[in-house]
Amino acid sequence: MSNICVIGVGYVGLVTGTCFADLGNHVIALDIVEKRVENLKKGILPIYEPGLKEVVERNVRAERLRFTTSYQEALKDADFAFICVGTPEGVDGEADLQYVRMAAESIAENMDHPLVVINKSTVPVGTGDWVAGIIHEKQPKPIPFAVVSCPEFLREGSAVRDFFSPDRTVLGSTDKEAANKVAQLHLPLRAPIMITDLRTAEMIKYASNAFLATRISFINEIANICEALGADVKEVAQGMGYDKRIGHHFLESGVGYGGSCFPKDVKALSYMAQIHGTEPQLLQSVMEINMTQRRQIVLKLQDILGDLKDKAIGLVGLAFKENTDDIRESPSLDIARMLHELGAAVRGYDPVAMENVQRTVPFINLAEDAYELASGSDALVIATPWNEFKSLDFERIKSLMKQPVIVDGRNLYDPLRMKAMGFTYRGVGRGYNGAMISSSGESHT
């Protein structure tokens, strides 16, 4: 059992702290936002994450998990302090490290015994050394400490599962003893543990996210070529994926990647490369292709409906992916903005993200469910692959829509079946099965 302090109760901090408590450790999670901490004490979570509430409740009841706004209280007995604060995008695409700096300063000012500081926030390569420098500088009197980088690989929507079944744990530090202590903490997870230096660990995180984003942009480029040549990208991806050297993961084409990680991290890596004199050609293309995917959806709508002014377009799904209420860099909302600029009447529905949308994108008219959304719509855009959208009652949908048009940005449906039901249907990269059918002169009214 270890005493752990987690700084920042956003996605990473709350999941990490809660799950370490569930492994039997004593965890105290700190946030500087008082309202968040007050809410957590009442059992109200700041995010929607499947399964997390139950684990929080279980560990609070067992007195292994507590919340505070006080650094003094959080660090009092801590063996480890995890920095899990946000690193939003700065002005030019570089990561904004103001919260990491504040956390490092507060640790320095409040620690009263030796401590291992673990950086989990995604930070530019070199930040671990910078954090160590800040702690040294701000300590009122010298107390030994070590900084270890331990990047997180949790996906929103499956973060609890990912925590307990990681593919690997990466630890970076020049202090072998500290790295070994952090390795011990992760042993119950039974995954390979790799110990390297600080900068390499930080780079592994960026390279992993950039590679996954590259796979998505790769398959999206292939999708666009499939459309032009009359092939079906879903089957192409499946056929590729059987090759063990390629695998099936992250080969789903669609509206492109979104969320709080891939867009920001690819941009930040590209920025780091440029300021150090390298030209990140591939990363630039990955980002460009990603934006093209959203524009393609609008172009398809224009191709089918003509001028979009005053057309009622329903966005089926608003979150950046399924099983989350997170709308940061959501492709659906980018599409909404483009449609809004073209004068369309934009409507939307999402199982859990609507409160967030209402607060931040007021021009989207929200519906109660997919059927209310369909009612009177000129077209539906499938933007988030929630399970509840996978088997809709299409006869009902068709009877409710003004025009039976579906642009499927997540390739959820079978193009031939949709056509047989009387829809004008366009997927992404479904050349033979989708685009060719709709572009062969068929009427959509």
Determine contact, residues 373/392, Cβ cutoff 8 Å.
no
Give the rounded distance of the alpha carbon of 116 from its chain centre.
28
Strands 26-30 and 3-7: parallel
CB of 442 to ligand UGA, least distance (A): 28
Contacting residue, 8, 10, 17, 254, with ligand UGA by CB under 6 A:
254
What's the DSSP call for residue 28?
A: E
Residue 5 annotated in active site: no
Question: Of the ranges 129-137, 250-258, 267-275, 346-354, which one interacts with ligand UGA (CB under 6 A)?
Answer: 250-258
Contact call for residue 251 and ligand UGA (CB under 6 A): yes
The nearest distance, CB 108 to ligand UGA, in angstroms, is 26
Stretch touching ligand UGA by CB under 6 A, among 66-74, 246-254, 348-356, 435-443: 246-254
Cβ partners under 8 Å of residue 168, min gap 6: 153, 191, 192, 193, 194
Determine if 216 is a binding residue for ligand UGA (CB under 6 A).
Answer: yes
DSSP 320: S
Looking at beta carbons only, is 253 or 424 nearer to ligand UGA?
253
Q: What are the residues whose beta carbons fall under 8 Å from the beta carbon of 83, sequence distance 6 or more?
A: 7, 8, 100, 103, 104, 107, 117, 118, 119, 120, 121, 131
Query: In terms of CB distance, is 66 or 430 closer to ligand UGA?
Result: 430
Instruction: Closer to ligand UGA by CB, 209 or 356: give it.
Output: 209
Toward ligand UGA, which CB reaches closer, 205 or 426?
205
Question: Within 10 Å of residue 332's Cβ, how many Cβ atoms?
Answer: 30
Q: How many residues bind ligand UGA (CB under 6 A)?
A: 20
CA 383 – CA 208 distance, rounded (Å): 25
CB of 274 to ligand UGA, least distance (A): 21
Spell out, one character per residue from 424 to 443, where the chain touches ligand UGA: x when CB under 6 A holds, - when not: --------------------
Q: Is 285 helix (H, G, I), strand (E, B) or coil?
A: helix
Report if residue 262 touches ligand UGA, rule: CB under 6 A. yes
> What own/partner pairs with CB < 8 Å and gap ≥ 24 does 100-105 have?
100/127, 100/131, 101/134, 102/32, 103/7, 103/8, 104/131, 104/134, 104/135, 104/138, 105/134, 105/138
Is the CB of 353 or the CB of 437 nearer to ligand UGA?
Answer: 353
- 141 CB neighbour count, 10 Å cutoff: 5
Phi, psi of 365 (to 5 degrees): -85, 120
Question: What is the per-residue DSSP string for 323-334?
Answer: T----TT-HHHH
Which of these ranges, 64-72, 126-134, 138-146, 251-259, lies near ligand UGA under the rule CB under 6 A?
251-259
Q: Does 13 bind ligand UGA (CB under 6 A)?
A: no
Closer residue to ligand UGA, CB minimum distance, 259 or 427: 259
Helices 331-341 & 281-305 angle (0-180, nearest 10): 50
Out of 164, 250, 394, 432, the residue judged to bind ligand UGA by CB under 6 A: 250
Distance in Å, CB of 366 to ligand UGA, minimum: 21
Shortest Cβ distance from residue 49 to ligand UGA (Å)?
10
Distance CA 403, CA 380 (A): 9
- Residue for token pair 């997540």: 410
Chain positions 141 to 160 lying near ligand UGA, rule: CB under 6 A, are 152-156
Q: What does the per-residue mask of binding to ligand UGA show for 295-334, with x meaning CB under 6 A?
A: -------------------------xx-------------
Q: Which of the stretches 41-49, 255-263, 280-288, 365-373 binds ligand UGA when contact is defined by CB under 6 A?
A: 255-263
Closer residue to ligand UGA (CB): 264 or 311: 264
Active site residues: 261
- The site for ligand UGA (CB under 6 A) is made up of 122, 152-156, 209, 212, 216, 250-252, 254, 257-259, 261-262, 320-321
